[in-house]
Amino acid sequence: MSQTDKPDIIPPSPSASEYDTDPAGKPLIPDTSDPIGLFKEWMAAAREAELNDSNAMSLATVGLDGMPDVRIVLLKEVTEAGFVFFTNLESAKGQQLTETPKAALGFHWKSQRRQVRVRGTVTPVSEEESDEYFATRAAQSRISAIASDQSRPLTDRGEFEQRVAELSEIFGDGPDIPRPEFWGGFRVTPLEIEFWQDQAFRMHDRLKFVREGDGWTSGRLYP
């Protein structure tokens, strides 16, 4: 197949006319000593503008074979202590984070033409935090979490659906669906946070924060 015959699935690079030619350009990332506060501002703007799942983030881990692994998960809390998500602790990512408690996160908000990268160490959240979040989930979501052997081979989807049906008969839609021991949360404590703001003609703005003691140092990076 010649180059011209290949399916056109990759968009071309933007032409000059497609860039925003406003002389003021997009605003640069503000100088700040508070990267968590800036992240919350960007997250709030994304929630207003994104079509769905503004809290979606790429989670990169180290596989048990030493290879990198990545998937999309949902951010459920962000504080000065770190970024929290929940999962099946016996899943691939759960085992990987237990073995190598380090991770990288990536946020990309197309509507804002922004991204944020985070690198840090990982610790389990408390049992109380896991219980509290699990109780906020829809009943059927809690039931499917109990029924799923996440990341392990599934030879027949009907088997999984049968488990869900049986548990639904037991628990119904009641509030007292217990959190299984194999389900909980992780907190990524950031050591580095980088903010990226799109600018025309690849003159993007990048601001990187590095943890130093109880505070942060920061500096701009070439795009």
Can you give the pLDDT at residue 26? 75
| DSSP one-letter code for 201 | G
Domains observed in the chain: 30-135+179-221 (2.30.110.10)
3-state secondary structure 93-159: HHHHHHHCCEEEEEEEECCCCEEEEEEEEEEECCHHHHHHHHCCCCHHHHHHHHHCCCCCCCCCHHH
Structure tokens at 56: 């979606």
Q: What are phi and psi of 82, to 5 degrees?
A: 145, -170
Can you give the pLDDT at residue 170? 92
pLDDT along the chain (223 residues), means of 10: 70 78 71 97 96 97 97 98 97 97 98 96 98 96 94 93 94 89 98 96 95 96 97
Can you give the pLDDT at residue 208? 98
Catalytic residues: 202
Sign of CA dihedral 73, 77, 83, 87: negative
> Which pTM was predicted?
0.91
Cα–Cα nearest to 40, from 59, 54, 21, 19:
54
Can you give the pLDDT at residue 125? 98
Can you give the pLDDT at residue 25? 60
